[in-house]
Every structure is written in structure tokens, then in C-alpha cells.
Amino acid sequence: MKKLSLITALLSSCVALNANAYQTEATGAYEYVDMDGGKTNSAAISGKYYFNPVQTRNAPLAEAAFLDKASNIGGGYAYSKLQDDEDFGDLQFNIIGVEGEIFIPDTQFYVSGALHRTNIKATINGLGSESDNGNGYEFEAGFLPVNGLLLAVGVADFSESINPVKVAKYGFVTNVSNAAVVSGDNDDTAVSLRAKYVSEVAGFYTNFEGVTYIGDETSYRLAADLYLDQTLSVGVSFADSTADDSDSIFNIRAQKFFNPQFALGVGYTTTDGADSYGINGTFRF
């Protein structure tokens, strides 16, 4: 009887541990940008498959995969259409890409990579359209000196394409602005430096992120999130560059997991001459 009770307890513990585990994650995002002289509508979808089930544990659900060091492979698609107020024409972006992250087992090392392709179609009403394609890439190598801290260095080429997964995460305006500054007139390959730190401070989990790209000019982005509980977060970010007359980009955002499988997020981004409003949904299974 005692042996049977012990087996039952162990099985119950295993079920409880894996009840909220997930192995696939999908994100859909929409962004509307109101800018001087025009508007932009953007939509993006992205997905990830984790090689092993991700355990949510007693930590922010949004950071579960990072804290679990969950290796994955995935990809995304993004579409954006920029229209001018005078109905002169439009500019359409179709972007597709794949990416992966590997937390090397039994070590503190990390590698990641992404390949993406962008098609840009320019249309002038009454005169016709013209299209062009371009490819881009990103590669990183990182080190995790302590649990929850990642330091990474890499290379990236944004001169002809941007990453659709990052469009889904950070928005179209932020990514295009960054690509234009870093690539410059010389289509430079950029060196990237990135840090991410998730930790508990004064009883609340926090996430701090920073990334800089050093190319034709240097761009940087700083972000912070406060997790009010395991399911709810609010955050801010700031981005700028060393380019002459560069405009700072400010963002505020919030995300709520209504259950371990579904979250809804909203965001507002502003820069000189443009205001962006975004909404996104995350599904896990």
C-alpha cells in the first residue's frame, strides 16, 4: 500500500510539472502607423518549435523559454504596405525568414542564426510597378555566466532585408529605421552586441535588454519589463543612433497571459513624424 501511494505521488508530481509545458509557440501581430504624409499597415506571423517541452515553473510565462534554455527552430512572415495621403502610390514589403537558437547542452554557450528575404514592390498609380528582392542574415555566439544572463556578439546584414520574426516582436517601423541607419549608403555588414538579463528584484521579476549594431552608423536599443505577476508585464524601450538628425524611438507595451496557452499584448511607439499602435497574440501548445 505504501509503495502504491509513493508511485501515485510521483505520477501526480510529474503531471503537475508538465501540465503547463509547451513545445510550440505562434505569434501574430498587427501594427498601424500614422506618419506625416502617409500611413502604414503591417501584419506579421512567427512560430517556434522547441526541441524539448518548455517548463513554465514559478517564473514569468513570457520568459519561460529563455529561463529554461530551450533550443528551438522557427520562422516568420511579415507584410507591410505604405501609402501616401495624396494617393500617389504605395510601397509593399513581403518578408520571409527562418531562424534558430541553440543553448549547447551541458555548457554555458549559446549560438543563433537567421536568414531572411525581402521583396519590395513600388507602385506609382498610372505608371505601373517595379519589384526588387534582397537577402539578409544574422549570426550570434553567446555566453551565460549566470542563470538568466546572456551576453552575445554577432554579425548581421540588414542592407537588403529585415527579419520578419523581429518585425512581429518589435514592429515594422523600429526594424526598418534600424536597418537604414546601420546599413547606410555603403550597405555595411554590422557587428552586434547584445545582453539580456532576467532576475528577481524586490519580489518582482524584471527583464533588461540591450542591443547595439555597429555598421555605417551605430544604433542601439534599451528595454526593460516589469512582471507584476507571473502573467502580467509592462515595459518600455528607447532606441536611437549616431546618425545625423537621428530621431529617437520610444515604446511602451504590456502583455497579459489569460492562461498558460494564450497571451495578448499591446504597444505604442512614437518617433518624430510617426506614431505606431500595435496588438499581438501569442499561442502555445
User: Rounded to whole angstroms, how far apart are CA atoms 210 and 223?
Assistant: 6
pLDDT tens string 54-77: 998 888 999 999 999 999 999 999
**Phi and psi based region of residue 126 (left: phi greater than 0; alpha: psi -120 to 50; beta: remaining):** left
Amino acid (one-letter) located at 205: Y
Q: What is the mean pLDDT of the segment spanning 82-86?
A: 85
The answer for residues whose C-beta is within 8 angstroms of residue 26's C-beta and 6 or more apart is 45, 46, 47, 48, 282, 283, 284
The confidence score (pLDDT) of residue 194 equals: 97
| pLDDT over 80 at 181, yes or no | no
User: Looking at per-residue confidence, does 128 or 24 come out higher?
Assistant: 24
Closest CA to 91 of 115, 125, 116: 125
Of 34-38, 115-119, 143-147, least confident by mean pLDDT is: 34-38
Contacts of 105 (CB under 8 A, 6+ apart): none
**Per-residue model confidence as pLDDT tens digits over 232-276:** 999 999 999 888 878 889 999 999 999 999 999 999 999 888 899
Structural domains in the chain, sorted by start: 23-284 (2.40.160.40)
pLDDT of residue 223: 96
Mean pLDDT over the full length of the chain: 89
> Is pLDDT at 283 greater than 90 in this prediction?
yes
Where do runs of H (alpha helix) occur along 171-275? Answer: 172-183
Q: Provide the sign of the torsion angle of the four alpha carbons 149, 96, 161, 40, taken in this order.
A: negative
Contacts of 24 (CB under 8 A, 6+ apart): 47, 48, 49, 50, 284, 285
Terminal CA-to-CA distance of the chain, rounded, Å?
37
d(CA 159, CA 197): 29
Residue 4 has pLDDT above 80, yes or no: no
Q: What pLDDT does 19 receive? A: 56
Rounded mean pLDDT of 110-133?
A: 92
Q: What pLDDT was estimated at residue 187?
A: 65
pLDDT at 13 over 50: no
Beta-bridge partner residues of 98: 75, 115
DSSP one-letter code for 166: H
**CA distance linking residue 256 with residue 220, whole number of Å:** 27
